[in-house]
Structure 1
Amino acid sequence: MHRVVVLAVDRVYPFELGIPGRILGAARGPADERLYEVITCSPDGRPVTTSADFAVMVEHGAEALETADTLVIPPFVWDPVDEGVRELPVGVFALLRPGTRVISICTAAVLLAAAGLLDGRPATTHWFEAERCQRLFPNVKWDADVLFVDDGDVLTSAGVAAGVDLCMHILRRDHGSAVANRAARYCVTPPWRDGGQAQYIERPVPGPSTTATAATRAWALERLDRPLPLSELAGHARMSVRTLSRRFQQEVGMSPGDWLTRQRIELARHLLEASDLSIDQIARRAGFGTAASLRQHMHATLGVSPLAYRRTFRTSDG
């Protein structure tokens, strides 16, 4: 039986701590046999504090790591300053056997990064912490738009429920879709979730400012439903196209075209969440013209279709 060891570190998040046991523990073979043995340990075998108002007793200490086929590390409250990183228990990885698969959920990726296990590798974490992680661990190829990253023997997931997505992926990878689908039905969870965490990231429109392009950006936001060629934006700003493009890059960090697409996506997201407009109507309101164009842009930016996004985020009283 494949042994999964879950390492609980002080200030662990209880929900994510239980994900491996619930999802992998639900996997059954053809004869209804268990496919994974899931055990929990702490670095010293003592109870661990949690992010909630209770502690967790564990049955095993660090010696359990020596028996792991797969190690899963749930997230914990961590101090993102350098001192906090230096205090992470990176020494636990020395106890693993060669070939042990290592998985992190959410911000537990910082423990892998601090140990050097992610250097030069693609990885993800909760989108809210991605910028800090990039700053602290620049050798890691962080991708804040995906739900999880499978890089062979090291896998990382985005925040909270993305740990469920990653464990479902592990079931599919190890035993195929039939086993994964059966476990998903038992756990009442989707066997696969469309899109990435990009669809959950809030990207506020830049507020009023006194920068050179501010007035033109405000003017464009009132006209997203119509074509806005670069020449027209430049004309409103009383700049050359070249100057406008340079100022946009300096002030908002992207080209005018990319900025317009971003604002149109944000408008479409709002209308999908809060209105009863059809996909065609929303496409026209947001300046994409057709539903096909809206679908193409949402897939490219968020990884989901307009209908899938609406099913996920539609307000009950909208």
Structure 2
Amino acid sequence: MNSHENRSIPSVAVVVFNRFSPFHISVPSIVFGRDTLNEEFFDLKFIAGEEGPILSDIGMEIHTHAQLDALEHSDIILIPYWRTIDERPNYGLIDALCRAHARGALVVGLCLGGYVLAYAGLLAGKRASTHWELEQDFSQRFPEVSLDTNALYVEDKGVITSAGTAAGIDCCLYIFRKYYSSSIANRVARRMVVPPYRDGGQAQFIEQPIPMTTSDSRINALMDNIRTNINQKYTLDELADSVMLTRRTFTRKFHKATGMAFGEWLAFERLNLAQDLLESTDLSIDQIVEKTGFSSAPIFRDKFKERYAVTPHLWRKTFHQQA
């Protein structure tokens, strides 16, 4: 029996509308559907976001599983697109999304789906991402939203938004990793023949995955060196000297390049390595602490539980077989 069968399967509701884009609804279908790995990790359903037939922009029709009232019981709600940035969504949809978010559901807007969440007021006071061509329009239309112009996708207080078309794949894989291990999500990525993490100059200002490269070559070289020697101790003064910068300038440049303070980035790198070691090796907790550079086993356990909401022992018990 697979470990994920021992717990309830998260329900995913993909809300669709007339004039839908086939690609945008195919992405969550492939990532969260059972056909990719021939196993059911999510209970996926397509929900009608409005009355009437649901036809694509090229004449395809989709037959949905349920109406908007089904969102009351969904763990994850995805708006995979929106037909026009000038159109405000219907009140029934806005109300259903707000009530779902209030009860703790994860609400996601892929690409122009972020406009729907913004119209619903779910992005007010939060960070968000959208397609780069629409950044100016989005900012003017929703000034209460802090638009991140670099991120492929952003999570803020139970709401996730993503950038353009292909970023929806990155975003859905990220959601998969939130509920399951990186190793299982990576299997999905391999079956789709896409990278599990996309490198590039756009810093992904979210908990995971953290950016592998940035637009600053000196910061990139430093990050690579630290990953190779992750178990060492580092100080800001020493790091600043190594790239010939003052401490203040280094701190500013590192945050600009990665979207994180150095200490935050280092902790995330160490936790990512620890996660992989728990899944793929039989190393003891003390050995993992030594390899990842945490100062003690209790500190490592606290940091790990703070990030993943489970203990390292439970993570290994749950996911080691999938490594």
Tell me the TM-score range normalised by the shorter chain. 0.5 to 0.7
Tell me: CA distance 1:7–1:14, structure 2 relative to 1, closer, same or farther (3 Å).
same
Supply the distance in 1 between the matched residues of 2:130 and 2:113 (Cα, whole angstroms): 8
Which position in structure 2 is the counterpart of 1:85? 88
Flag as ranges the 4+ runs of structure 1 deviating above 6 A: 299-303
Q: In structure 1, give the amino acid aligned to 2:179.
A: D
Supply the distance in 2 between the matched residues of 1:94 and 1:169 (Cα, whole angstroms): 23
TM-superposition CA deviations, 1:223-279 (whole Å, max 9, x none): xxxxxxxxxxxxxxxxxxxxxxxxxxxxxxxxxxxxxxx9xx9xxxxxxxxxxxxxx
Tell me: CA distance 1:131–1:302, structure 2 relative to 1, closer, same or farther (3 Å).
farther
Within 5 A, what are the aligned runs for 1:294-313?
Answer: none
* Pair 1:161-2:153 in alignment: no
Supply the distance in 1 between the matched residues of 2:36 and 2:20 (Cα, whole angstroms): 28
Alpha-carbon offset, residue 43 of structure 1: 2.5
Alpha-carbon offset, residue 183 of structure 1: 1.2
Q: In structure 2, give the amino acid aligned to 1:129.
A: L
Q: In structure 2, give the amino acid aligned to 1:34.
A: E
Supply the distance in 2 between the matched residues of 1:17 and 1:196 (Cα, whole angstroms): 27
- TM-score, scaled to structure 2: 0.56
Contact 1:171 1:180 in 2 (8 A): yes
Supply the distance in 2 between the matched residues of 1:61 and 1:33 (Cα, whole angstroms): 26
Within 5 A, what are the aligned runs for 1:18-97?
Answer: 18-26=26-34, 33-44=39-50, 46-80=52-86, 84-85=87-88, 89-94=93-98, 96=100
Q: Among all aligned residue pairs of Structure 1 and Structure 2, give the percentage whose two residues are the same amino acid.
A: 32
TM-superposition CA deviations, 1:113-167 (whole Å, max 9, x none): 1111000000001111111010010000011211000224111110111010011
Alpha-carbon offset, residue 172 of structure 1: 1.6
Q: 181, 184, 197: which is aligned to 1:176? A: 181
The number of aligned residues is 207
Contact 1:47 1:58 in 2 (8 A): no
Contact 1:150 1:156 in 2 (8 A): yes
Alpha-carbon offset, residue 301 of structure 1: 7.1
Which position in structure 2 is the counterpart of 1:9? 17
Structure 2, unmatched stretches of 5+, are 1-8, 204-214, 218-242, 245-249, 260-323
Which position in structure 2 is the counterpart of 1:134? 139
Q: In structure 2, give the amino acid aligned to 1:124.
A: S
* Pair 1:147-2:152 in alignment: yes
Contact 1:17 1:74 in 2 (8 A): yes
Alpha-carbon offset, residue 26 of structure 1: 4.9
Which position in structure 2 is the counterpart of 1:223? none
Per the alignment, in what secondary structure is the counterpart of residue 33 of structure 2?
helix
